[in-house]
């Protein structure tokens, strides 16, 4: 994976534990500690293991946001024709690494704390462009992609929103709302919303079109 350019870090701030936030979400949804969705979570909270947030206008390939269960169960991936997985964590294993039918890309969203200063747009596009380009290449060739973290809410939610901004040419508020309609637990908490807002500004300042045709 290409690394973002080294930039001046932001001023010291408390960094959230996204795994702990995921566990709080699981508890609120009455899920097991692993966070696997079930009939009750679907009925009461519209919580699934994964949800489609974008579809390629010509190849039909789909981009999903999902949880650890979706990323680790071959049956779920095959049912949804997913062959490419973006792992948005620093420490979760790529459960099916070595399987020739699955391609992985690790996009450690947490690195933005060390590499970006959210008082400006400096470096924000460079931070996201490698993962955008990797997903573009997959969907352009008809391969569907899962963007995941533990719950598919915060890290993967933010990355999925960022990709929808890029692919559908949306501002960050519209993209957040669109992704939440598809997957209600998407929640760019704290500085994650600021990160998306700076990506929005950076895209306006230097328009980067998606590398696939518009619908």
Tokens 């908490």 correspond to what residue?
A: 189
Contact 183/100 with Cβ under 8 angstroms? no
Closest CA to 159 of 174, 176, 171: 176
Q: Identify the pLDDT of residue 64.
A: 98
| Beta carbons within 8 Å of 171's beta carbon, 6+ residues apart | 165, 200
Angstrom distance (rounded) from CA 59 to CA 75: 22
Q: Cα separation of 135 and 127, whole Å? A: 14
**What integer pLDDT is reported at residue 207 of this predicted model?**
75
pLDDT at 186: 98
* Residue-level pLDDT at 16: 84
Query: In sequence order, what are the residues at sequence separation of 6 or more whose Cβ sits closer than 8 angstroms to the Cβ of residue 4?
Result: 111, 115, 116, 123, 126, 127
List the chain residues with pLDDT less than 50: 1-12, 215
Q: What is the pLDDT of residue 213?
A: 60
Single pTM value for the model: 0.89
């Amino acid at each position: 994976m290409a690394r973002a350019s080294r930039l001046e870090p932001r001023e010291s701030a408390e960094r959230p534990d996204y795994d702990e936030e995921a566990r709080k979400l699981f508890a609120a949804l009455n899920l097991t500690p692993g966070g696997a969705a079930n009939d009750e979570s679907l009925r009461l909270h519209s919580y699934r293991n994964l949800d489609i947030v974008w579809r390629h206008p010509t190849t039909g390939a789909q981009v999903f946001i999902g949880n650890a269960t979706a990323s680790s169960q071959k049956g779920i991936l095959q049912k949804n024709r997913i062959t490419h997985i973006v792992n948005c964590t620093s420490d979760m294993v790529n459960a099916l690494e070595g399987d020739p039918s699955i391609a992985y890309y690790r996009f450690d969203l947490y690195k933005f704390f060390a590499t970006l200063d959210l008082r400006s747009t400096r470096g924000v596009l460079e931070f996201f462009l490698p993962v955008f380009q990797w997903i573009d290449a997959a969907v352009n060739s008809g391969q569907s992609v899962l963007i995941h973290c533990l719950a598919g809410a915060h890290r993967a939610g933010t990355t999925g929103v960022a990709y929808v901004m890029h692919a559908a040419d949306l501002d960050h508020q519209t993209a957040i709302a669109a992704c939440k309609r598809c997957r209600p637990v998407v929640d760019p908490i704290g500085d994650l919303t600021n990160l998306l807002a700076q990506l929005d500004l950076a895209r306006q300042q230097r328009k980067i079109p998606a590398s696939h045709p518009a619908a």
